[in-house]
Structure 1
């Protein structure tokens, strides 16, 4: 057989890791100078710029005069860029972030030439089962990757990867690694020894006659003597063809009809580590990232669509700036948290900058919406960010008034019921510097209220108003008892544990929630149990204290969980348990919602430990339902097949049965289901009838060797990272749980949970002054779609034409038929109009992009 040896010249550019992004920017300038000089001297050569367009921006930031030179090389196809903006993680970030990363990566690459339409993700820690469809919607028909493959998936490393919706693309596992042919030796004897290690692997796993030689490594400079190396290689393999090539040529060489079909996620750790527990590393960074993603996709973008109707220009530039800060934090090492302390500090600071931008833009939009009402200075706006109607909901909002009391009135001056949750007095000069500058002594009351909203049209605004009165109105008051309830059930404390009585089925769920503490001898890549561990649970070792409060339509249980835990690993084996771990917060139940909502606060004081929230469901099942990227999928509770072979086959990492979700985990049986909804917490494990959701873990090193579940060399490097112990850091966790089936699927329920109705008061005192704007008008428009069981992923305006763009998906196992408004068009993932649509038919797990013309 004559082999077609295709050499891929590339570099893998970790933008940051145990080095900072600013270090690599300087290095990149030098790297690009060498690459461009080589390509200009060798016009037939091809160089892959790691599939990420951010390298264009990082380079031109330091060398702007080189833009034309760079444009020429990309334009002629010598330098391949895109399709990603950054090399993102493909399990931990939001599904919309995956779409936007590809959108901006392709958009930026297209400004220089033809983007590389290959799903190149060489070092990502696993690949979601929705990626074939997402890739396909961008015109990408193949993916090349290293981590996640095993022979349990396919015999050959070239295959057809079938996504959860049935979309198939070509999958190519880099069997010898993306770094397999780094720094090829020029000496022919040494080269032959090297190739004798690479070629047998490729001969075994390649499905066709082509062989992919990956000539590159992390920050590796271009191998400028590659021509000499190739001449020597031709002497070694005189019967084979040898050339510098690209990924597309390799795909074209395959007989696609003969390839095996692979289904599901690519998360096997047979040949390369996946780090299945990296989802709980640096939870402070991960929770901050999720907060920004939710506020961007669920709040700011739909709010900005509404604002456009009110005369507020859509903040395209602000959104792009926030997204690019996010993309920088989404690289697999970055969001993984497997970095030096210095790098993690930088990542967190950049995310804090993104948070300030998005929080400010949201408040600005809401404030401008209130200013559109020129008839009343005491305006409240109530905003529905979903393009679907909503009824009988509650909105939590903040009020600042001169009096303790106030009334809220709707558009017809009817009093709107609300409950005062909290109130405090403060100096108005601390809010508005003009008050302090004028030496005015003005006291105001800052209140949190829960307001009832009877109904809302989709993507709409309602204008309420408030009247200041002397007396406090409908405050949340302390009530007798240690339980809260609604028509679905009762949550109460008995015998120092938390129980839930289901009024619908009559079933009593004892010890429904608890906190678990265990040891962690791992590193930034993986949780690892200590050789000797003691697991401590709040239900047996803790003290639970509660206080009940009651208001209109809401009951609240204020709780404190405290338990003694070891301060570090040395105390874990023998004790004593010398640290008091305290978890405090609230449980809330509403008269219109079967879910129990929880806010849990904690200050970490223990090293080398892991905390998990444990929900006891009473349901034992072989599989669990979770949401992935714009989909619902079923995952096995226990990876029996993988665990039965991993030791015998010498997998590089134990395939532990710890998985990733996006926002919910559900166990089902014929009589019902138990659902745990999460806000940013994504790592879970199901043990018997319990869902274990990781809250945080603390550890001491970036990398360690010889872990219990990961034998051998350290991942990363063995440096101390004391910041990873998270000592003294404050955490706030939000979850909700339910045992009651609703008319809506879990995807829609989760979207509502993460997209609450918003409320905002036009305040007398503000940090910044705004001028009145004549162009502002009260928004009359709305977009109320009847999407049935389909779920909204995105509502925004397109960059090019300022048209309303929606992305929806079908998380059910049934085909959905949706009637659409007039002048609705199917769109591609790059937000271009395609054909008009009156009816949308979505097969199970299908994603639909569309543009709605409101003109």
Structure 2
């Protein structure tokens, strides 16, 4: 073992016994729940019987307590005693989510619920942001953690060339200045998962050789060793193993601890700072192909999040008007149902087919819960005699179109948090006609013979050509990563038929039909965006379908993409890694809804994957509509886009996404005129629409929000009868 030079001070080792618990993955939840019962049984036995075994970390998610006690309710007193003493560490999250595919509010509610569950069982929520297996981390996570009083963050995936700049222990800073101390596991949460003392000694020496210099540069004198793995049982002889290492390596100490103990031992002074996303794959795979795996799940989840937030806002407005308490516990039930779909192996779509079929059932159950909450909230308003009600669930004045099947569309304007009643007229059946173009007050759209579109933005005179080019290409990857076929051509539509489905008033629709894809392009009077509804009957396996939007001439060099509590700015051409990464950088990226580069913007509903591609003709956006594959993971060496395997080689026929799919997205021709705040508002306006009620309601806004802020939620307080209004400043400070 090296003891000289800069590594001489690294003599104290913190060994954290733990298990990382994927609730569902290559097996369904029920199989892993029964395995969890065995693992926790053994943990309880060891902690109760061996005073030399001081503690165990039961992962970073509190839901495992509920899962275990559903099987072993008789062990609740034993569990409570160990939680109360601090010997069993759990939380602070409810589940370990994918942090990039879910919205900002779900991340906040995940921590709120996780801490509440910990306290319900007598535990002190772990004071560490422990997210060991998430496939990358968002820009604003330090601010979210700091908002809960959490000042540290432990992770395995996401470090890229920041390793050379800030090392493995650093201050991770959000744009507002909030900070957490970030600790890269060395290099993963299984770095001490070894068979015996010989292997343990070799692993210690390897860890010091590889990461000791980075620790020393940061002035960190203690080394974190993680004795655990996915679904790992407790190592009963860990105290003896630590004692043997101390005997073999004189002058060292190996203490069995919790993550919080290690964090407390590291002095915060002098650590370098970093601001930005953590999406690199220098040390560990980040597997961002999950952004497009089983995209039907992403669309369903996006709708579920929208519905829950909209109805929660409606419930808060109803409580405010009626002077009644907000039904916090009822909405907590709904949030619990949603969050159970957000573990990284679940929402990412990279599990066995049974898992994702179960998720569809959970989403159906959630919709029933939300619908019941919606009906109850509407009872807080006085109904009028006829027609239907329209509620603006956002705090900004909005203009939109109400469309109800069988009735004429109605253009309306509403104040923020306002409502009105509209009378409906039976629809005059539109008469489709031949044609290649539609036009509104602000926009004109014309289809070319190959099915691509030209959009004219009348106010600016700017013209975008070749839009919505459909590209289909083979994919020999898996649920974790796309992998192209070397030399395989990209298929593009060569011809299309068009017709005008509706030409006003209010709504204008152009149908563009290729042999396999039908798109309805929509314009609305008074609204400056082009909307798309695209339908595909997919009967092809192992491929990726994307819609391509050339940006046109622009001097812009940064892509703006919607993230949690922020619009993230990313370079159009990412920097080339300075060293070899475990997984090559993926050219695709993620968005929660909005994208913009120069004048062209895109808004999406549950389509999180895009690529900003630089070409000789200029930059273009590639929006993924489908990615269809049939394996959880291909083995090591099988893919050029990911050298290492990422999981079991389990067949997933449902991952081929056969059948009919419908996609919704929109184009903004004037995105460069929108600052970050107003681009995010435009995204909300498109995604949320108006809430349409079967019973007419009419009220003045009971609450007003002023200033250039972005709305996040209006909800009941967790502790009390008040309401919480959450908004954020999206502008650079």
TM-score for both structures, normalised by structure 2: 0.92
Q: Is the contact made by 2:282 and 2:580 (CA closer than 8 Å) also made in structure 1?
A: yes
Corresponding position of 2:5: none
User: Residue 158 of structure 1 corresponds to which residue in structure 2?
Assistant: 169
Deviations 1:756-789 (A, max 9, x none): 22223349xxxxxxxxxxxxxx775633424332
| Residues 710/657 of structure 1: CA separation in 2 closer, same or farther (3 Å cut) | closer
Distance in 2, Cα, partners of 1:803 & 1:717: 48
Q: 1:349 Cα deviation (Å)?
A: 2.5
Out of 348-357 and 45-54, give the one that drifted further: 348-357
What residue number does 2:661 align with?
Answer: 731
Per the TM alignment, residue 356 of structure 1 is displaced from its structure 2 partner at its CA by 3.4
The corresponding residue for 2:631 is 701
Give secondary structure in 1 for the equivalent of 2:528: coil
- Cα distance, 1:736–1:224 mapped onto 2, change above 3 Å: same
Q: Which sits farther off after the overlay, 477-486 or 712-721? A: 477-486
Q: 2: CA distance between counterparts of 1:325 and 1:760?
A: 24
Bigger strand share: 1
Distance 1:459 1:190 in 2: 62
Q: Do the aligned partners of 2:588 and 2:611 also contact (CA within 8 Å) in 1?
A: yes
d(CA) in 1 for partners of 2:509, 2:33: 51
Q: CA deviation at 1:587?
A: 1.7
Contact 2:293–2:350 (8 Å) recurs in 1: yes
What's the offset of the Cα at 1:114? 1.4
Residue 826 of structure 1 corresponds to which residue in structure 2?
Answer: none
Unmatched tracts of structure 2, length 5 or more:
1-7
Quote the Cα distance in structure 1 between the aligned partners of 2:395 and 2:402: 17
Among 379, 395, 401, the residue aligned to 2:402: 395
- 1:453 aligned partner: 412
1:32 aligned onto 2:56 = no
Q: Does the 8 Å contact 1:474/1:551 carry over to 2?
A: no
- After superposition, where does 1:682-693 map in structure 2 within 5 Å? 682-688=608-614, 689-693=619-623
Compared CA separation, residues 501 and 779, structure 1 to 2 (3 A)? closer
Q: For 2:434 and 2:499, how far apart are their aligned partners in 1?
A: 11
TM-fit CA distance, 1:338: 1.1
* Cα drift, residue 650 of structure 1: 3.4
What CA distance in whole angstroms lies between the structure 2 residues aligned with 1:322 and 1:702? 30
Matched residue SS, 2:366: helix
1:712 equivalent in alignment to 2:643:
yes
SS of equivalent to 1:655: coil
Deviation per residue, 1:112-131 (Å, 9 max, x gap): 12110111011110011110
SS in 1 for 2:663: strand
Give, in whole Å, the separation in 2 of the partners of 1:150 and 1:493.
43
Q: 1:306 to 1:151 in 2, by over 3 A?
A: closer
Matches of 2:285 and 2:693 in 1, distance apart?
47
Q: Cα deviations across residues 280-304 of structure 1 (Å, max 9, x unaligned)?
A: 001111111111011112x111111
Asked if 2 retains the 8 angstrom alpha-carbon contact of 1:12 and 1:219, the reply is yes
Q: Who is 2:601 aligned against? A: 675
Q: What SS does the corresponding residue of 2:81 show, helix, strand or coil?
A: helix
C-alpha deviation, 1:516, in angstroms: 1.1
Q: Is 2:179 the partner of 1:168?
A: yes
How many Å separate the matches in 2 of 1:595 and 1:607?
33
- Alpha carbons of 1:342 and 1:544: their partners in 2 closer, same or farther (altered >3 Å)? same
Return the offset for 1:318: 4.1
Which residue number corresponds to residue 839 of structure 1? none
1:394-428 deviation line (CA, Å, top 9, x unaligned): 2223xxxxxxxxxxxxxxxxxxxxxxxx5xxxxxx
Please name the residue that 1:269 is paired with.
Answer: 281
8 A Cα contact 2:548 2:622, kept in partner: yes
**Paired residues of 2:433 and 2:499 also in contact (CA < 8 A):** no
Is the Cα contact below 8 Å between 2:434 and 2:498 reproduced in 1?
no
**RMSD over equivalenced CA pairs, Å:** 2.3
- Which residue of 1 is the match for residue 483 of structure 2? 528
Going from structure 1 to structure 2, the CA distance change for 1:358 and 1:731 (only over 3 Å counts) comes to farther
Partner of 1:332: 344
1:783 matched to which residue of 2?
A: 702
| Structure with bigger RCO (C-alpha 8 Å, 6+ apart) | 2
Q: 1:693 to 1:711 in 2, by over 3 A?
A: closer
Deviation per CA, 1:359-407, whole angstroms, max 9, x where unpaired? Answer: 45435644x467x33x62x3422211123344x432223xxxxxxxxxx
Deviations for 1:478-497, whole angstroms, at most 9, x for unmatched residues? 46742111232200123333
Does residue 487 of the first structure (1) align with residue 420 of the second (2)? no
C-alpha deviation, 1:12, in angstroms: 0.5
Instruction: Report what 2:565 is aligned to.
Output: 630
- The structural deviation recorded for 1:707 is 4.3
Alignment partner, residue 547 of structure 1: 500
Q: Do 1:632 and 1:811's aligned partners in 2 also have CA atoms closer than 8 Å?
A: yes
In structure 2, the partner of 1:840 is none
**Do 1:614 and 1:690's aligned partners in 2 also have CA atoms closer than 8 Å?**
yes
The answer on whether the counterparts of 1:46 and 1:244 sit within 8 Å (CA) in structure 2 is yes
Is 1:559 the counterpart of 2:512? The answer is yes
- Cα distance in 2 for partners of 1:587, 1:194 equals 59
User: Which whole-Å CA distance do the structure 2 matches of 1:232 and 1:356 have between them?
Assistant: 57
| Cα gap change, 1:463 to 1:448, in 2 (>3 Å) | closer
SS, match of residue 545 in structure 2: strand
